[in-house]
């Protein structure tokens, strides 16, 4: 689950929702993660501050936004779109959705897609 920047309100709610639903994702054989262009130390400090313990917090800091660019979600402002991307075991994108920057993603939708429903 891509979020624009750490230490922002909607991004915090997005990561907390993933943390809250971690077991549901795990039960579907998926590994949820929170990704952004923030540095690793920043992501770790932010995760502690918002109570995220299980969720993998990944950094696309250097080369800056390289992974976000590959997915076509890097913005000219220097951060990623808010997006959910499901990738299979072979690294293929099986589903993706980009949201408005201020929009909180519907994890129910992501869980339905991940379950094949």
Give the residue from 60, 52, 62 showing the smallest Cα distance to 19. 52
Asked if 11 is an active-site residue, the reply is yes
| Catalytic member of 2, 6, 10, 11 | 11
Give the residue from 27, 28, 26, 2 showing the smallest Cα distance to 105. 2
How many CB atoms lie under 10 A from the CB of residue 43?
21
Give the residue from 103, 16, 86, 7 showing the smallest Cα distance to 36. 7
Please tell me the distance from the alpha carbon of residue 26 to that of residue 100, in angstroms, as a whole number: 27
The residues carrying an active-site annotation are 11
């Amino acid at each position: 689950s891509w979020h624009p920047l750490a230490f922002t309100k909607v991004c915090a709610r997005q990561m907390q929702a993933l943390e809250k639903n971690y077991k549901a994702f795990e039960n579907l054989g998926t590994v949820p993660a929170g990704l952004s262009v923030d540095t690793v130390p920043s992501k770790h400090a932010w995760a502690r501050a918002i109570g995220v313990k299980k969720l993998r917090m990944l950094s696309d800091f250097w080369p800056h936004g390289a992974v976000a660019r590959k997915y076509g979600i890097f913005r000219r402002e220097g951060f990623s779109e808010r997006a959910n991307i499901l990738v299979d075991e072979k690294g293929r994108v099986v589903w993706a959705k980009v949201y408005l920057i201020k929009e909180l993603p519907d994890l129910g939708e992501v869980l339905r897609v991940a379950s094949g429903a």
